[in-house]
Amino acid sequence: MSFKDHFSRQSAAYSRYRPDYPPGLIDWVSSLVPDRRLAVDCATGNGQAALSLSSRFDLVVALDGSLEQLGSATPGPNVAYLAALAEHLPIRDHTVSLVTAAQAAHWFDFGRFHSECRRVLKPGGVVAAWTYGKFRLDDDEGVSQAVDAVIDDFYENVVGPFWPPERRYVELGYRTLPFPWREVTAPAFELETSWDLEGVLGYLASWSAVQRYRDHHGRDPLQPLRTALEPAWGGAGIRRLRWPVHIRAGLA
């Protein structure tokens, strides 16, 4: 299958170090649907969204083009993982209540994806796509500012040239993402987690731009980043991180 694959090589890090989606987000998306029989999660990655949806739906079909990502996905009792693309959904016409794409829609061929959604969705079915960008520390003001400054410099000036062009959709909070649906205004949501510095570095290792930097330069940009972050972090403590979530949701 041909698709923009930026994550297969770091699938283990992606599975371990991606923050969970807030239950309120999953509850809100699920409240929009005509029934709770079938949801389809596109580009599921490690299955985070699919597993969260599985407690609200009878069945979640979780799709990804990467066999490595599917191999790292967490099993669920009513989650069916399949190797497939968002542009070619292996689903019968008008059988789906919800199609989701979590931190993934910016990679799709938009026209083909939306056409497939129209084909598989029931009347009143829902398409929901959400994304998140850089985290911010929710901590002592001085520590937060120092860490955020180091991360901002790393994001923009070190690995910045290695972000794929689709990253621009994320940076703009999906506001410019093509979305031809009857849109529903979403509440504000945030991802939250508590990590030590090793957790942060593990998360950054899952960035596609970090992998592309390594490929280009033949060295790891995380080693000098660790040196810069250690004094800003202020020891080996655990700190709370927050990511604002940007969501587009619409009705068929």
Dump the DSSP string for 174-185: TTTS---SEEEP
Residue 237 CB: number of other CB atoms within 10 A?
11
For strands 121-132 and 96-102, give the pairing: parallel
Write down the pLDDT at residue 17: 67
Asked if 99 and 38 touch (Cβ cutoff 8 Å), the reply is no
Sign of CA dihedral 47, 48, 51, 57: negative
Residue 5 CB: number of other CB atoms within 10 A?
15
**Cα–Cα distance for residue pair 200/240, rounded to 1 Å:** 11
**Local structure of 64: helix, strand or coil:** strand
Write down the pLDDT at residue 138: 83
Write down the pLDDT at residue 3: 47
**Local structure of 93: helix, strand or coil:** coil
Write down the pLDDT at residue 141: 62
Give all strands (DSSP E) within the chain, no chain letters: 38-42, 59-64, 79-83, 96-102, 121-132, 136-137, 182-184, 189-195, 239-251
Write down the pLDDT at residue 11: 43
pLDDT along the chain (252 residues), means of 10: 48 61 97 98 95 97 93 93 97 98 96 98 98 87 84 97 96 97 96 93 92 96 96 86 96 96
**CB neighbour list of residue 161: distance below 8 Å, 6 or more residues apart:** none
Helical residues (DSSP H) of 166-221, grouped into ranges: 167-171, 197-205, 208-217
Domains for the chain: give ranges and CATH numbers. 8-251 (3.40.50.150)
pTM, two decimal places:
0.89
Write down the pLDDT at residue 6: 44
Report CA dihedral (228, 231, 234, 235) to the nearest 10 degrees: 90
